[in-house]
Each structure stands twice: as C-alpha cells, then as structure tokens.
Structure 1
C-alpha cells in the first residue's frame, strides 16, 4: 500500500509460530535483539518502540524518524522468515493480533493481556512515542470490545485451559497426581487457578523469587510452595511437572535430573516456555514424557469452525475501531502542524 491512510513510519517486525519453529523463536530471543533496538532508540533513529514477547510470537512495533532506512535495522537480525509490515498494514496486523485473530485459537484472551503488559512496560520506561500511544490505546480498546461483544471465549479455549485439557488427556487419574509448577508468570498462574477450581489438592509451586510463591499461597489454600533451589527434589516427588519461566536458559537440566529419573517412575513434563526450560535429553528415559507448545496445537484446532463464524459476524467492530483511530490520527496531524 503506497499511500498510507493512517500514518507514516510505523512498522512491525514479527517472528511468529506461523513461520518459525519454537527452536527458531527461542534462538531469536537469545540473540540480544533488544540491545540492537535500544541502540537505534538512543541514537534517535527509532522514536518509540513496544516489544511483545510471548510463547507464540516476538513482535517489535516501532515508529522511526522520517528519513530512517528501516533495512538498516532489519539487516541486524540474521534470521529467515521475518515478517515485516509497515504503516496501515502494520496497524491492521496489530488489531488482528490483539483481537486474537492471528492466534492459533481465534479470539483467545491471553494475547490481549500480554500486549497490554508489554505496552505499559515500555510506556513506564519512556520507550513509546505519541503515535504509538494513540495506536496502542486504540488497539487495547478494540481487543476488549471485540471479546465483550462477540463472547468468543465462552468455550474456554485459551492457552491455559487447553494446557490443562492436554494434561488431563495424557495423564490418567490426574486428581490423584502431584503437580509441580515451575514459574509463576501469567500463564502458570492461570493454569494454577484452573486446577484450584477443579479442587486439585496436590499442587506445588516454585519460583526464583520466593516472594511471588508466598503471595500465591495466600490466595490458594490448597497449594504448597518450594524453594527454587530444591526444584529437583520436588520433581522427584511429582507426577506432572509444568514449567513456564522467562529464563533465557534451561531451568531443568539433564545433569541435575538424570539420577532422579532412573527410579522408573512415570513422569509427564509440559514445557510452555520460550526459550524452553526443560532439557530434551530427559526423553532418553522410557518412563519420561516431555511435551512443549508445538505438541498441543492440535487441540487448539477444535471448535475452529464456530470461532471462525463468530469472527466473521463481529469483524465489523474492528472496522469501526479502525475508522475511529483514523479520525484520531488525522486530528493529531492537524494539531502537530499548528
């Protein structure tokens, strides 16, 4: 699109599950790409940016100065399968993503919370621009409005609910099993909440920050907490281990767990982190079952037709919100010229 209706110099550089495997995405996370973005920001080439980093995607939304050659930034990322969008197309993409239309499960809730958190973090750290603030506030409003009016999530097909469903399908008599959760981020807390509602009594949680684990214990009366340094001891006692930390390295290493796994006890590991938390070498033991995000996508495709119909019926909301954004940006242009 040559003539931009909405704005100029707004871009998104996207690395998502659609074009990159989980291994490729975690390699990108390890590439210190944030430092490269910050360097351009400090030089004034980038006027503002928002980085959205989830288990499904890493996306960099940014506004550049008018004469900045964006390829100078893109060439810094020595990765294939980069999805690069600009101006109007970048805005349409953000609205699709925040409404969950670009997710494996159409309309899922978590991406809205993730984008809000990413935006407010960058806003607090003074990394955004006036243009980004207008666009992201409009996008967040749209994400809320779309879900409220379409009621697309009444079937509980979010990542946390699918993860619990996946575990229940793989592990017989789950109510009798001990579940050990490593990390207390948004996803694992949502999973913990679901198990709590099910009345599960054998829940153990650990986190590098003991304060967060202690706070959870005040909310959930049926959980135990463990020191992070004792995680291997609690893996030994557990049947199901779920890990989703934000660590850039392995949390459960083969060298630390191999002797424990020789007891021939059947254990189920679900690694929901990017980069991954759990060393894949543990699958050398026949009694060990290790799954990650790529293994649970098939469950995401259930009820797809119904969700597609809901998206079609309520897509007008996104169109209306885009029109409102267009008016806001036009007003902003007029004020900036005065």
Structure 2
C-alpha cells in the first residue's frame, strides 16, 4: 500500500523544466517537444491547447512515464519534489495510477474488453490501496454512483462493449479517481461525445476534482472547455510553448498570433452565411519545421526577422509568457 505525496505549500505539486523529447527512428531524429517549462500547484487546473500534432498528448504521456521506446526525454519533471525522469520503472508503477491518474482520450481502447467494469475500477484499489477484492468492488460501485452511471450495481458486471461512449468515459474517470490521486491528467476527455454528455462529464470532473482537492491538467483542442474548467492555459505548437497565462487573460488578450488564430477559428453564429476563419496551412511534420519561429510559415504577422532565428521565451507581468519576437516588441498586441 502506497502513500499520497507529502504536501509542501512552498513548491508546486508538478514542476516541468526544460523538457525536451526526441524521437529516433531508422537513424533519423526529430525533436517533438522542446524546452517546455511550467508549474502546476495543488488544487489548480492547467489547460493545454493546440492543434493536433502540437505535442499535447506526448507531454501528458511523458509525465506518466508512458513514452514509446523510440522517445528520449531530457529535462526535469518534478512531482512532489521527485524527478520522474530519473525514477525507476518500479517507482513509476507505484506513482502512476495512484498519485497521478490519467483519463485517456479513447475509453474503448483504454479499457480491457475482457474484464468487467467493476473489476477494472476495483483493480487500482487492490493494487495501490491494499484493499481486498470484496471491499474494492464495493467501493467501485460507490465510484460508479459518483460519476453518475445509472444502476451501478448491475453495470459493474457489464463489459466495456455493453456501455455507451459517455458511460465508458465515466468509467475511465472512475478508474483514474479511484485511488484519489494528487494529480489528474485528462487527455481530451470529451472527444466524440455529444454536447449534453460532454457537459455532464465536465460537471463530474469539476465536482470530483474540487471534492478531492486535486490538481488537474486538462488536454484539449476545445477552447470552450478550457475557458470553463481551467485556471491557467498553456498553448503548444509544434512542440513549442507559444504562450502561457491565466485563462481569462490568454483568451481575451492573446499575445501570440497562433493563440489569436485558435481563438478566431472557434465556431460562432454567422448570420450572413460567411465562412469561418481558419489558420492557413497545417502543422508541419516535426522533422520539417520552418527556419526561425516554427509558426512563421503560417503566421499572418510574419516579418523577415521571424525566419532568422527561433524567438526566446519572454516572461511578462502577471505570470504571463510568450514566444514571439513581435509580441516582445509590443507590435502585435
């Protein structure tokens, strides 16, 4: 049976410093995350946003210690004062699913098709909390009630294919929350859910993270979800940290043209039948990034200097930061 991480009010629960990840395949290497740094204090919620291919899921997997074998990580991921990148696999098995929980993007592939729902929720309680299977199954039913799965006692005997997508996502939440982790990572937890079910899942996450006083890292491409749930927001593009700050400030006064592009592309009512704005082009492959700023080939505010060198990260007042040469000069605000 393992213990929760000790509380240290003078330091953040999660502190990531200069995290870089490279993928090596057939003799070729590409850096997919570059010099990522941020803090997440206990009890706060951080949103991580960006287009598909920006490195959001890789960031989440690196914290969990679940990177593929071809990935090499450098830097520091400090959880409760312990550097996870230098921890043994045995120690990581003790932490993940226990002190750090994760809700995966696709519950149908994350759940074991050969185990009942109740046993999958109970397994973490047996492994990490030392409960008997009898007691763990009883707690699993209570957790199913908490995540609002109807007729929990009967559903506990069901298999994943017998549940709807929304119910499977609730099961994923119950599994992640069963050991009451200090940090919960949610990777696109509302993907492919209709609007009503999405709202219910977000309500559950909000209620339970508040009840358990846990930190939440919410990975999403949906800025509406981020605005509703998150205290702070980190914007990623091509594995680079483009902007960070309080969610309200980032969404109402973005400093980076990429952030403005994401906000501008949010669907709105268009009374005249006009086209929705988009960010031209696509996210480039990690091994074919443009010179200078990684967003320079798609940026509407590009100047020649943008292609000369990648801009440094610049910290501003009110715990805000940005990677953009023109934002540093105050020309795009």
Query: Relative contact order (alpha carbons < 8 A, sep ≥ 6): 1 or 2 greater?
Result: 2
TM-score, normalisation: structure 1? 0.26
TM-score, normalisation: structure 2? 0.26
Higher helix share: 1
Higher strand share: 2
